[in-house]
């Protein structure tokens, strides 16, 4: 089983903390959004082939200001606005990647990406296989996704199932400030196309990390990429909560409440939806014998469904109860005042844990 501590070298373990004169360690708080900005800036600085484009990502800096300052620093040839034409944005990225560039495109909101879906499925995901490995498409598709911001329909979809079902795509869903930086850097470095899911409600979350130290650690050849690696975000002995993206903080909050009630819950942050880390997830479930999968997306034919199936297949003889799910309902995303009923909550998670056939 891979824990956060297990997968880090000493250099990476120190990342995010800077020693003061008195020997103590501190770091300035960094938001999830600014970590993404820094990752884009560092990637563009290290490789002139990296270009960033999409709707309003230029001088405005994007709806969520993730690309703020990139046009001023790198010029309009490398960070620029496009027309409101997602299929065209994606098609242009394919052409650029085929000619040696590394385009990073932003789909302004999750559901806005649907007009580009044909390009993603028919070309981005298949070009490498279609050309017998001769043509690579190192494209990163940044998608602000999921709810929790009081947005309306077409602004809060969790569309990950469409992408994970498509062979040829890497799909990442970071949930921490440190992962926002390192996994976006890893995604841009990858020669494979990556769908990079950014939980909108977490753009303003903060953590004390040293981004320069993270970059130094990331370049250590002994440090494995976050692609394809889940981590145990919290140790526990009674049941395992499996989550990704915006559901990870909710799972951790549920574990805090459970601890106050005398129950120890382990939390696994999946991080990488494709490739999926079966080894870490299954090992975590085997240590507790009970599991709950948490995600915002509707449950039918979902990533949560796939995780349940994989856990059930690999951990059947270790399970004390069927694997439960806490997910969004099988309805379109509701109006802002109703989204708190729709999204996974601490109470819903703890209710599912209570349903795991505990002995009296």
Give the total residue count for the chain. 360
Q: Which two tokens stand for residue 137?
A: 């498409």
User: Catalytic residues, which ones?
Assistant: 155
Number of other residues whose CB lies within 10 A of the CB of residue 284: 26
* Structural contact between residues 43 and 188, judged by C-beta atoms closer than 8 angstroms: yes
Alpha-carbon Rg of the chain, whole angstroms? 20
* Structural contact between residues 242 and 268, judged by C-beta atoms closer than 8 angstroms: yes
Spatial neighbors of 351 by CB under 8 A, at least 6 apart, are none
User: Does an H or E element contain 70, and which?
Assistant: helix 70-74
In our burial notation (b when 16+ CB lie closer than 10 A, e otherwise), range 201-237 reads: bbbebeeebbbebbbebbeeeebeebbbbbbbbbbbe
* Structural contact between residues 79 and 104, judged by C-beta atoms closer than 8 angstroms: no
């Amino acid at each position: 089983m891979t824990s956060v501590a297990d997968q880090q070298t000493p250099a990476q373990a120190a990342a995010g903390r800077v020693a003061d004169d008195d020997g103590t360690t501190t770091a300035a708080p960094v938001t999830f959004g600014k970590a993404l900005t820094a990752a884009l800036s560092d990637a563009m600085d290290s490789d002139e082939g990296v270009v960033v484009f999409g709707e309003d990502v230029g001088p405005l800096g994007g709806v969520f200001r993730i690309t703020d300052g990139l046009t001023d620093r790198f010029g309009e040839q490398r960070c620029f606005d496009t027309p409101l034409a997602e299929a065209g944005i994606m098609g242009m990225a394919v052409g650029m990647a085929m000619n040696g560039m590394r385009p990073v495109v932003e789909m302004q909101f999750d559901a806005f990406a649907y007009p580009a879906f044909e390009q993603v499925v028919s070309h981005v995901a298949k070009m490498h296989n279609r050309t017998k490995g001769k043509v690579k498409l190192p494209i990163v598709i940044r998608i602000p996704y999921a709810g929790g911001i009081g947005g309306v329909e077409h602004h809060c979809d969790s569309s990950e199932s469409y992408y994970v079902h498509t062979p040829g795509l890497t799909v990442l869903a970071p949930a921490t400030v440190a992962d926002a930086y390192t996994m976006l850097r890893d995604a841009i470095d990858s020669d494979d196309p990556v769908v990079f899911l950014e939980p909108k409600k977490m753009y303003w979350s903060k953590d004390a990390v040293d981004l320069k130290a993270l970059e130094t650690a990331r370049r250590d050849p002994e440090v494995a990429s976050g692609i394809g690696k889940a981590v145990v975000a919290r140790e526990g002995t009674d049941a395992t909560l499996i989550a990704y993206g915006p559901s990870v903080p909710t799972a951790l909050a549920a574990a805090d409440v459970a601890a106050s009630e005398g129950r120890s819950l382990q939390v696994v942050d999946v991080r990488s939806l494709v490739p999926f880390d079966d080894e870490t997830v299954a090992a975590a479930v085997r240590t507790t014998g009970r599991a709950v999968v948490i995600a915002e997306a509707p449950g039918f034919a979902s990533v949560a469904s796939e995780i349940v199936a994989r856990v059930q297949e690999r951990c059947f003889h270790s399970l004390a109860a069927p694997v439960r799910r806490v997910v969004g309902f099988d309805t379109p995303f509701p109006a802002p005042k109703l989204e708190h009923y729709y999204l996974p909550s601490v109470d819903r998670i703890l209710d599912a844990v209570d349903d795991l056939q505990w002995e009296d």
